Amino acid sequence: MSWNGERTDQLDGMAVLARDHVAVDQVTATRRSASRRSHMRRSNGIRYVGFEVNRGNIGRRAERGSPIEPRTAAALTLHWNRALTDRRVPLRIFPTYGHTGNYRIAAEQALPVADVQTMLSDTLGGDFAVFTVTDFVAWVTAAQGAAVRPAVPPGRRPTLGAVMDLNTAGQAPPIVTSDSRWVFDAFAVPRVRAVWKIDLEAPGGGRLDSSPRGREGGWGSIVPVMRRHCGGRWTARAISTLKCVVEVVRTP
């Protein structure tokens, strides 16, 4: 065999070896990526909770919008995680409770809350109030014990909740002048104040008036109040929702 033939055989062999190494590297990278995703799904990878601004019932919004718009929280977060993966953002997001924009957020390592909010906003195109799991569980627990149920007129019922500031460097929100729909509680921590939504009861009492007029707006209707008095960006949730999120993030 000529030198040229030997050289050709050598080059062919090297090409095969190179292809094999590439294939092995691709398989290894895929396995490592899958392992990272699996690790972040486990409870020790859930480092944050996030509350999306202006997220109503996903199914109803999808029915009114595009036929390809995600119709469940699971479908929405699957879509979002693909975007996070494509952009190489080291976060993954998972639904927690209900259809109102409540999420668990996993990260491979601890990051500043402000960075997490910015990554989510830049990648997903929405606004989120993000807290570490530790801080979130602490203030929800404290709010339940410290908030004082207000006296309300007959035909009204107070429901406890919290208003949250998207400014990650925000101080305790001030007490805004109460009216017939809202009573601001004395409990507050940085970025969060407890607030009572004063709901109308149905005629005869015993249950809340669920009619559109009787509801007088949901928890999101406090946002314009906060914006008018304090500026900035806000979102709010009932304490019943926040308690359920606490239960989810505490579950291994």
More confident residue, 170 or 19: 170
- Prediction pTM value: 0.77
Write out pLDDT tens, residues 210-227.
Answer: 776 666 778 888 999 999
- For residues 58 and 72, the answer to whether their CB atoms sit within 8 Å is yes
pLDDT for the residue numbered 194: 97
Q: Is residue 201 part of a domain?
A: yes
Binned at pLDDT 50, 70 and 90, residue 178 comes out as: confident
pLDDT at 205 over 50: yes
Q: Is residue 5 part of a domain?
A: no
pLDDT for the residue numbered 72: 84
pLDDT for the residue numbered 56: 63
User: What value does the mean pLDDT take over residues 189-201?
Assistant: 94
Enclosing domain of residue 140 = 136-250
Count of domains forming the chain: 1
CB proximity list for 242: less than 8 A, separation 6 or greater: 140, 161, 162
Determine the Cα–Cα distance for residues 238 and 240; give it in Å rounded to an integer: 5
Ordered DSSP codes for 106-157: EESS---HHHHHHHHHHHHSS-EEEEEHHHHHHHHHHHHHH--PPP--TTEE
Q: Is residue 9 part of a domain?
A: no
pLDDT for the residue numbered 242: 97
Write out pLDDT tens, residues 17-28.
Answer: 344 444 434 444
Q: Is residue 221 part of a domain?
A: yes
pLDDT for the residue numbered 203: 77
Q: Is residue 60 part of a domain?
A: no
The residue written with tokens 């486990």 in the block is: 42
Q: Is residue 57 part of a domain?
A: no
What rounded mean pLDDT belongs to the chain? 80
Q: Is residue 213 part of a domain?
A: yes
Give me the sheet containing 182-189, strands edge to edge: 182-189, 192-200, 156-165, 234-238
Percent of the chain with pLDDT over 70: 73
Determine the Cα–Cα distance for residues 212 and 114; give it in Å rounded to an integer: 36
More confident residue, 184 or 55: 184
Q: Is residue 214 part of a domain?
A: yes
For the purposes of burial, counting CB atoms within 10 Å of the CB of 184, is it exposed (0-12), middle (13-18) or buried (19 or more)?
A: buried
Write out pLDDT tens, residues 108-161.
Answer: 899 999 999 999 999 999 999 999 999 999 999 999 999 999 998 888 889 999
For 169, how many CA atoms within 13 A lie in the half-sphere containing its CB? 1
- For residues 106 and 94, the answer to whether their CB atoms sit within 8 Å is yes
Write out pLDDT tens, residues 38-80.
Answer: 444 444 589 999 999 988 655 444 444 444 456 688 899 999 9
- For residues 232 and 166, the answer to whether their CB atoms sit within 8 Å is yes
CA distances from 137 to 103, 133, 161, 195 (A): 14, 6, 14, 17
Cα torsion at 127, 129, 130, 136 (round to 10°)? Answer: -160
pLDDT for the residue numbered 33: 45
Determine the Cα–Cα distance for residues 233 and 225; give it in Å rounded to an integer: 11
Give me the sheet containing 128-132, strands edge to edge: 91-95, 102-107, 46-52, 128-132
- For residues 189 and 172, the answer to whether their CB atoms sit within 8 Å is yes
CA distances from 150 to 10, 14, 147, 169 (A): 86, 79, 9, 30
